[in-house]
Amino acid sequence: MYALKDINMAIMAFPSWAYIGAKRLQLEYRRTIVGSLWLILGFGISTTGIAVLLAQLQGMTLAIHVPYVAFGMAIWNFISMSMIGGSTVFEQNRAMMLQLPLPRTAFVISHVVKNLILFAINLATACVISLLFGWTPSVETFVIVPALLLCIPAAFAVTTLMGVIATRIPDLGELTASIMRLGFFLTPIFWRVDAPSARFHGADQTLDILGLMTIWNPFTHFLEIVRDPLLGEASTLLNWQVSIVLVGALVVAALIALQIAGRRVTYWL
């Protein structure tokens, strides 16, 4: 089957493609003075600012809210970059794809590795910021391991799916960017459903809008299985159910897309 052959060929040269992904990350800030330190500074500055502001708006204590926002933002950046970057992954590598018969998955590997490295850096930065504001890691933090493991096939699937479809229908890139912009607000990243100042929540209102937004937003569940262990909380069964089903569906969809349209991607570049 073409899709499996493509994936296999790319995985056989995995170190090379991972090296290219990491190298690209290093090159991004090459001509700046601060250099790759921007990866930490950029994330640190915006995250801390948003966290402190929203803590005030929502009536939360900094020690609780700053880690909540910091970890949430790190995870969201990973999701967002996988989705938006995935739409342009083949277009960006157009020159190389028209020179050599390379497996499509190769570019997916480079992109995912780059994003995973960035995710790790963001998580580390989030840890440092959180520690400064009074967060203490707990034993539950180790539960993050299965959640992180789930991130990997999720990233591969999303990138492949978006990449293949966006080559034929570039509108997908625009649509994804718009959805992610909106998603940043609709997903409980810098706000929480149970904050003191959160309105329209609870028994005295008939329509729990915030609660509905939270539950029906697929990003929420994915975010929570990674964030909850870090905050020492347990994710709900629903979180895990939705996340696993979602990732499973994405993997299947990605394989189908790769099988149908993967080979002829070069015709559409």
Partner 1 sequence: MTLPDVHVTLDDLSISYPLSQSPWRTEQTLALHGVSLKLTQGDKLGLLGRNGSGKSTMLRAVAGIFPPVSGTIETCGSIASIFNASLGFVPKASGYENIFLRGAVLGMKLSEIRELVPYIKEFSELGDWIHRPVMNYSSGMALRLAFSITTAIRCDILLLDEWLGAGDAAFLQKARRRMTEMIEEAGILILATHNTVLMREVCNKLLVLDEGRMAYFGDLDEGLEMYRTQPAPARPIETADTSRS
Q: At what angle do helices 209-216 and 218-231 cross, to 10 degrees?
A: 90
- Alpha carbon 6 to its chain centroid, in Å, reads 24
Q: Please, what is the minimum distance in Å from the beta carbon of residue 99 to partner 1?
A: 5
209-268 binders of partner 1 (CB under 8 A): 263-264, 266-268
CB 81 within 8 A of CB 115: yes
107-166 binders of partner 1 (CB under 8 A): none
CB 93 within 8 A of CB 159: no
Q: 65 CB contacts (<8 Å, ≥6 apart)? A: 51, 54, 55, 58, 192
Instruction: Among 16, 61, 205, 241, indicate the residue that binds partner 1 (CB under 8 A).
Output: 16
Instruction: Among 4, 45, 169, 249, indicate the residue that binds partner 1 (CB under 8 A).
Output: 169
Size of the residue set binding partner 1 (CB under 8 A) = 28
Nearer to partner 1, 201 or 263 (CB): 263
Q: 66 CB contacts (<8 Å, ≥6 apart)? A: 48, 51, 52, 55, 129, 130, 133, 135
CA distance 133 to 63: 5
Distances from the Cα of 184 to the Cα of 4, 66, 89, 188, angstroms: 34, 17, 22, 8
In 3D space, the residue among 135, 16, 158, 11 whose CA is nearest the CA of residue 78 turns out to be 158
- Among the listed ranges 13-21, 174-182, 195-203, 219-227, the one in contact with partner 1 (CB under 8 A) is 13-21
Q: Please, what is the minimum distance in Å from the beta carbon of residue 169 to partner 1?
A: 6
CA angle, residues 144, 113, 96, in degrees to nearest 5: 160
Nearer to partner 1, 12 or 209 (CB): 12
18-37 binders of partner 1 (CB under 8 A): 19-20, 23-24, 27, 30-31
Nearer to partner 1, 11 or 128 (CB): 11
182-211 binders of partner 1 (CB under 8 A): none
- Among the listed ranges 11-19, 140-148, 187-195, 202-210, the one in contact with partner 1 (CB under 8 A) is 11-19
57-86 binders of partner 1 (CB under 8 A): none
- Among the listed ranges 12-20, 36-44, 231-239, 244-252, the one in contact with partner 1 (CB under 8 A) is 12-20
Residues that bind partner 1 (CB under 8 A): 12-13, 16-17, 19-20, 23-24, 27, 30-31, 93, 95-102, 168-170, 263-264, 266-268
